[in-house]
Structure 1
Amino acid sequence: MFHSGTQSLIDRWAALPRAGGVPLRAELEPMTFGRLVPQLFSADRTAEGATFRLAGAWIETLHGRSMRSVPWLELWAPDSRPLVAAAIVQTVREARPVVMVAEAARLRGVLEIVVAPLRDAEGRPDRLLGLYQPVADQERRREAVGPLTARLSVGVGVPNRPALTLASLDGRRIA
């Protein structure tokens, strides 16, 4: 069972209208998240994972800097980066939220970090919506918590993409 904040993002994402499994970015109204807004982020998908577009004030305080244009994998310990990169691929490939459990040296308790895909007007899943949810109450920090360490990653719900099928062109299998 997830923290109520994590579950709130999952439920709101799942309620968005969608075609092809991934909701349009234009359908999302971030201010409907109310008190969770400081914990929200938006990131662009990149070949290396994701880069922050926007991040709430609590996330910036947690990392001790502005998050605009910061590569997300840069915030993770080197041993955690493969798991985090796989979670980004999974959320887009399976068109469903993925929740990671993370720790940091100067952080009390753990964070649930949920990411979910969003698509642009042309239908490309090019954006991630995310939430940092502390499981224990966190004090407002004045210094950065240091690199995050991923402990677990799990897809939530049923994958929303149709199964891949075999296709042929002029008698040749192409996909």
Structure 2
Amino acid sequence: MFHTGTQTLIDHWAALPEAGRIPARADFEPMRMGRLVPQLFTADRTAEGAAFRLAGGWIETLHGRSMRGVSWLDLWAPESRPLVAAAVIQTFREARPVVMVAEAARLRGALEIVIAPMRRPDGTPDRLIGLYQSVVAQERRSEAVGPLTARLSIGVGVPSRAPLTLAALDGRRIA
């Protein structure tokens, strides 16, 4: 069971047109998320993972800096980066939200971080919408929490795309 904030973003994403085929970013209205807006972010998919486009004030306070253009993987401890990069790939490949559980040295409790895939206006699926949700109430921070450590990553819901399979034609692999 996820925190209600995490579940709210998952439900909102799932209700968007074409959620099973990756919805358009234009169909997602952040202000409908109400009190969760400071915990939202958008990112562009990159070869290494993702880079922030916009981040709510709570996220910027948590990391102690403006997030625009920051590589998402840079916020994670080196040993967590493969799991986080795999979660970004999974959300696009399976066209469904992925929830990660993260911890940080200067953070009470854990964070649930949900990411969900979105399409640009030209139809390219390379945007993320995400939410940081603390599982316990956090005091107002005066210093950044430091690198995040990923503990778990899980896809939410039924994958919407068929799993990849090996195909052969006349004994030659083609896909």
TM-score (norm 1): 0.94
What are structure 2's unaligned runs of at least 5 residues? none
1:162 CA displacement:
3.2
Q: Which SS does the other structure have where 2:136 is aligned?
A: coil
**One-letter amino acid matched to 1:141:** R
Root-mean-square deviation (Å):
1.8
2: CA distance, partners of 1:74 / 1:163 = 30
1:167 CA displacement:
7.0
Query: Residue 18 of structure 1 corresponds to which residue in structure 2?
Result: 18
Q: Which SS does the other structure have where 2:161 is aligned?
A: coil
Query: Residue 134 of structure 2 corresponds to which residue in structure 1?
Result: 134
**Quick one: structure 1 residues 44 and 89, their matched pair in 2 at CA, closer, same or farther if it must change by over 3 Å?**
same
Q: Which SS does the other structure have where 2:145 is aligned?
A: coil
1:174 CA displacement:
3.0
**One-letter amino acid matched to 1:71:** S
Deviations 1:15-67 (A, max 9, x none): 00017610001101100000000000000000010000000000000000000
**Quick one: structure 1 residues 150 and 36, their matched pair in 2 at CA, closer, same or farther if it must change by over 3 Å?**
same
Query: Residue 4 of structure 2 corresponds to which residue in structure 1?
Result: 4
Query: Residue 80 of structure 1 corresponds to which residue in structure 2?
Result: 80
1:82 CA displacement:
0.4
Q: Which SS does the other structure have where 1:23 is aligned?
A: coil
Please show how residues 54-73 of structure 1 align to structure 2 within 5 Å. Answer: 54-73=54-73
2: CA distance, partners of 1:61 / 1:92 = 28
1:123 CA displacement:
2.1
CA contact 2:98–2:156 (8 Å) conserved in 1: yes
**Quick one: structure 1 residues 14 and 87, their matched pair in 2 at CA, closer, same or farther if it must change by over 3 Å?**
same
The 10-residue stretch of structure 1 (119-128 or 21-30) with the greater mean CA deviation from structure 2:
119-128
**Quick one: structure 1 residues 67 and 173, their matched pair in 2 at CA, closer, same or farther if it must change by over 3 Å?**
same
1:135 CA displacement:
0.1
Please show how residues 12-161 of structure 1 align to structure 2 within 5 Å. Answer: 12-18=12-18, 21-161=21-161
Identity of aligned residues (%): 78
2: CA distance, partners of 1:146 / 1:136 = 18
* Runs of 4+ that moved beyond 2 A: 162-169, 171-175
1: CA distance, partners of 2:40 / 2:120 = 19
What are structure 1's unaligned runs of at least 5 residues? none
Q: Which SS does the other structure have where 1:35 is aligned?
A: helix
CA contact 2:64–2:143 (8 Å) conserved in 1: yes
CA contact 2:102–2:151 (8 Å) conserved in 1: yes
**Quick one: structure 1 residues 78 and 5, their matched pair in 2 at CA, closer, same or farther if it must change by over 3 Å?**
same
CA contact 2:20–2:96 (8 Å) conserved in 1: no
CA contact 2:13–2:19 (8 Å) conserved in 1: no
Q: Which SS does the other structure have where 2:12 is aligned?
A: helix
